[in-house]
Structure 1
Amino acid sequence: MTTLLWMTIDRHPESLKTLIRERLNSAGFDVLEASYDALDAVAGMPLESVDAVLMAPARYFPSEYMDRLTNCTLIQIWSSGYDKFNIDDARERKIPVANNHGANAVSVAEHAILMMLGVSRRIPEMHERVITGNWAGNDHGMSSYSLNGKTLGIVGLGNIGRLVATRAEALGMAIRFVDPNVKVSPQGSWVSSDFETLLGIADYLSFHVHLTDATRGMVNMGNIRKLEGQPFLINVSRAELIDYEALLFALDNQLVKGVAIDAHYEEPTRPDDRLFSFPNVLVSPHVAGSTVDSYYDTIDACILNITRAVAGEEAHGLLRH
């Protein structure tokens, strides 16, 4: 029987933990369940017998515990992002690491479109006006915008970026993208660009890249004034792709029409964060990839990948560098 160490966090709802637990048990795994919020408990577990680790989500995992994973064939991350995990420690110990390889990409792409529409049409404000009966001051759409006919700049044309592009194009948007790994446009109507040019021409900028040293602060005080078209910024990837102070500067100086963010600079967030004081900022609590459907797809993909690795086959989605 495969012994699996499953790392979770306390704030995940019990309904989600039950779903994961049932799928893992149905797959026949001997599951060791632990929380990042009580890492000391992991020390007493038989880590030497662990065949694979499921990180749901990926967080820092002490290197002294990794030293004991002598039988581990794979650390499987159930999300696409892995910036909070000390992956270099795993690589030093030659433990393969894989992400979910796009298992929740549809959910994230749908959420990006949702955020575009929500911030463009001021949905939270309109909802509040209706349920409070406060219709005074309603500007009758004079601060709302349509997606049709607008240019969407996509930063990162991977699994999620392509799904966003397909859906946005169906809504009448023109697609421009930047991705150094995409040499030929996958669609004739999608036009490749460089990042600096994209900042100046896009009506919407949607970010779909991993957070790395190279991408951290890719929008910053050095280039924020290049947002000549007053675009909407849509970030369902990692907040730190956009420098926090630069983002506040853009909002203070009306360099953007609006901002929509799913993953945040601090999690949990602080109610006094000045970012939340702007009426043209739309936020969600890091749930872009989270739906009942995507959870089933994600956990089943993780189970399949773990089974593949334990059987001696190469796992999908390996993070090689």
Structure 2
Amino acid sequence: MTTRILCVADGGITPAMMSALKELESYDAEVTIVEDSQMTSMAEITDRMGVIERAGIDAAPTCPELLANCAEADVIVVHVASVNREVIDAAPNLKLVCVLRGGYENADVEYLKSKGIRLTNAPWRSANAVADFTVGMMIAENKNIARSHHFLKEGKWVKRYPNQPFIRDMRKCTVGLVGFGFIGSRVAKRLSGFECRVVVFDPYVDAKEIEAHGVDVADSLESLLEASDFVSLHMRISSDTHHMIDAEALRRMKPTAYLVNTARADLVDEEALVDALRGHRIGGAAIDVYAEEPIGTDHPYLSLDNVTLVSHLAGTSADTMQTSVEIGYEDLEAYLKGEELINRRA
């Protein structure tokens, strides 16, 4: 029996990229590609995912092209289009949903489970891009790269900065990684070349698995904060991790330490971080994600001299979207061959 696969392309994962999934037709599959008319640019995609992460899947509208074409689909493949109750109820033959993102917030996981419908995602699609970027942010903040660039554009030749007394060689530093999944582990691998000490806190990963990467394991978040010259965040948002970096956590950091967040804005209490930076109670911060995006022209971050700010760019890479399709292809191929799914989430 032919397996009908409906793919929803958008401005991130384009129809041309999705066309690689047509090769699955060699497994007696019929692959149809439609395009999400609501998500034609990366700005729209970023905004949509911000809405879903903050307010849940029901806060996002249903993709009309998905809804109009899903009635006979056995498999639905999406990037940011929502696979919500409306879509699931309209697809009585649905057996598998494949979300080509690192997260899967745009799928109603519990409702899929209740229907016995399986779910996969592309968990490490941007891991290399974010890992590269994270190390770059550490160096940029420590070495004042962005600040110097900014001053030179203004015609100013600046040689001294607020962190002058503690600009460090990376090999002399301890880097604390909060989270050791696909991204955190890759950051550790990159840092090995800098000869710095890496210490990890992740209560969801076995300590022996972490140690196998040649890094140290912190017995608590508090001990990591107290020991680190850089604290880099790589956790997902949950009730346990929301504002895990709050005023108390910031008080535990060294006054010369830098906080790096290329993960999720809500891991950090922004108000508490602004207060700590304004009071120079930590050395500085490098931030890629914000509670509201884009940030307003009156955001307090913009008045600080000890923070490097970028506009949610960590996962940006010409390779990320194509990698998503490659990861999805592997799971879809396994499904069609009756094999175990590699990245199953439900």
In structure 2, the CA distance between the partners of 1:52 and 1:276, relative to structure 1 (3 Å rule), is: farther
Identity of aligned residues (%): 24
Alpha-carbon shift at residue 40 of structure 1 (Å): 5.7
Deviation per CA, 1:66-121: give whole Å up to 9, x if none: 22232223222222233465433333333222221323322211111111111112
2:98 paired residue among 63, 76, 95: 76
How high is the TM-score relative to the length of structure 1? 0.85
Alpha-carbon shift at residue 49 of structure 1 (Å): 1.5
CA contact (8 A) 2:36 2:63 kept: no
Q: How does 1:113-262 map to 2 (within 5 A)?
A: 113-135=135-157, 137-139=158-160, 142=164, 144-180=167-203, 181-184=205-208, 185-262=211-288
Structure 2 segments unaligned to the other structure (5+ residues):
26-30, 40-60
What SS does the aligned partner of 1:223 have?
helix
Matched, 1:23 2:25: no
In structure 2, the CA distance between the partners of 1:248 and 1:316, relative to structure 1 (3 Å rule), is: same
> How many residue pairs were aligned?
313
CA contact (8 A) 1:108 1:160 kept: yes
AA in 1 matched with 2:88: M
CA contact (8 A) 1:4 1:50 kept: yes
Alpha-carbon shift at residue 244 of structure 1 (Å): 1.9
AA in 1 matched with 2:342: H
1:62 paired residue among 76, 84, 100: 84
In structure 2, the CA distance between the partners of 1:138 and 1:214, relative to structure 1 (3 Å rule), is: same
Alpha-carbon shift at residue 167 of structure 1 (Å): 1.2
CA contact (8 A) 1:83 1:211 kept: no
Distance 2:63 2:171 in 1: 53
In structure 2, the CA distance between the partners of 1:198 and 1:44, relative to structure 1 (3 Å rule), is: closer
Moved more, 34-43 or 223-232: 34-43
AA in 2 matched with 1:199: L
CA contact (8 A) 2:15 2:33 kept: no
AA in 1 matched with 2:181: G
Kindly report the root-mean-square deviation, in angstroms, between the aligned alpha carbons of the 2 structures: 2.7
CA contact (8 A) 2:200 2:215 kept: no
How high is the TM-score relative to the length of structure 2? 0.80
Distance 1:296 1:217 in 2: 33
What SS does the aligned partner of 1:97 have?
strand
Higher helix fraction (1 or 2):
2
Alpha-carbon shift at residue 198 of structure 1 (Å): 0.9
